[in-house]
Amino acid sequence: MHNYVHKVLEVYYVQLRPSGFTLIELIAVIVILGVVSALAVPRFFSFAEDAQAAHVARVLTALKAGEQLVQAQFYAAGSPGQGVNANQTLTIDGIPVRFRNGQIRTTLNSAHVPTVPQNRNAAYTRLFFYFCRVRQRI
């Protein structure tokens, strides 16, 4: 009989044993998740900022390459009209490009925004305005 009572008590205690998580275990998991998310979320947002910065850097590189190409063609044409206050226009690929003292000249409107030239197919101008739009988003 002793064995029988012992087995009954053993089955009874096995059934009463808590099955689940304690409140402390749940709180510990929530705290750990909070710490991990606090560390991960700022890194996620920095990826977006890094992508924007890389995009702007690519646009700037294209702008610089376009400017260097135009200036190289200006000097290859013999620097026409080079002087102290010389203003000159050189047609490159059918696009009139204005220079002042060897530098590309732009015209600004009253809001200090470069105006669009007559020929809107100018790759340099389109890249510049694209850069301005990208820069405003940052």
pLDDT digits (tens, 9 = 90+) for 84-111: 455 677 666 666 667 766 666 665 555 5
pTM for this model (two decimals) = 0.41
- The predicted pLDDT at position 120 comes to 47
* Residue 60, domain member (yes or no): yes
- Residue 98 included in any domain: yes
What is the domain range of residue 117?
50-138
Number of domains in the chain: 1
Helix (H), strand (E) at residue 88: strand 87-92
Cβ atoms of residues 113 and 128 within 8 Å = no
Please name the amino acid found at residue 112: H
Q: Tell me, yes or no, whether 37 lies in a domain.
A: no
Q: Is residue 109 part of a domain?
A: yes
**Of residues 32 and 123, which shows the higher confidence score?**
32
Q: Domain for residue 57, yes or no?
A: yes
Average pLDDT, the chain: 69
Say which residue the tokens 């690519």 belong to: 58
